[in-house]
Amino acid sequence: MTTKTGFEFKGLDHVALIVSDMEETVDFYHGKLGMPILHTLEYFDEDEQLVGQHWFFGVGDPSNPDAHIAMFWWKDGYQTLPEEVVTPTAKPANHRAAPVGSILHFNLRVDADRIEEYCNRLAEMEIPFRHAIRYFNPDRPHAMRAVESYDKYIPEEEGALMTSVYVTDPSGNQVEFNAWLPGWESWPNDAVAQADDKKVLSRS
């Protein structure tokens, strides 16, 4: 499904996330995952007191060397509030749903033949992870069937669409390492977009 609108994008530049502790964030992304630190910025108030930091972690795309994950930390931010103040208490009927406007995860492309190696590295570093391989669901044309394992690599079988590893950073952001497999090329793109008639949010 393609539409010509005059916009020409050249790939992903960055994803911006809020973190609770920049030191832990740097140790996780740079120290453990090995992402290079491209740039660092700091923010000061009118009294010249440090109030925030912004770190740029490179994602290793040779064709797009400036692509990065942007991490923001704010002094006296939401991480200082009681958990019950910032955590939603109401739960919708759909257990898969997440708060509107939130980020589920961000994805870093990797080579499929290195997924097993990365699972083993995470296990050695005692970083919890979930490995998921997805297949066609013959009973539903637009649905996938997932085979999952926790803290252990599982080899893909014939017909696999994608192989993914999920980890969670110290601030609770979920990171996915993903590789598309040959079966993905035949995945359909003709689902019907759904509209929700229960508009509970007012945007002005």
Mean pLDDT of 112-135: 94
Nearest-angstrom CA–CA distance, 54 and 31: 17
Nearest-angstrom CA–CA distance, 139 and 6: 38
Tell me how far CA of residue 129 lies from CA of 36, 81, 117, 152, 164, in angstroms. Answer: 22, 28, 13, 8, 10
Q: What is the pLDDT of residues 132-180, one digit of tens each?
A: 999 988 887 777 889 999 999 999 998 899 999 999 999 999 999 999 9
Q: Name all domains of the chain by residue range, CATH numbers in brackets.
A: 11-88 (3.10.180.10), 105-187 (3.10.180)
Separate counts of helices (H) and strands (E) for the chain: 3, 9
Q: What is the pLDDT of residues 24-36, one digit of tens each?
A: 999 999 999 999 9
Q: Find the angle CA(18)-CA(38)-CA(79) to the nearest 5 degrees.
A: 15
Neighbouring CB atoms inside 10 A of 62's CB total 5
| Per-residue pLDDT at 101 exceeds 50 | yes
Its pTM stands at 0.80
Neighbouring CB atoms inside 10 A of 17's CB total 17
Mean pLDDT of 68-92: 84
| Per-residue pLDDT at 41 exceeds 80 | yes
Token reading at 178? 């993903």
DSSP-derived 3-state class of residue 85: helix
| Per-residue pLDDT at 202 exceeds 50 | no
Mean pLDDT of 6-28: 86
Q: What is the pLDDT of residues 185-194, one digit of tens each?
A: 878 777 776 6
Q: What is the DSSP string of 14-60?
A: EEEEE-S-HHHHHIIIIIIS---EEEEEEEE-TT--EEEEEEEEE--
Mean pLDDT of 52-59: 93
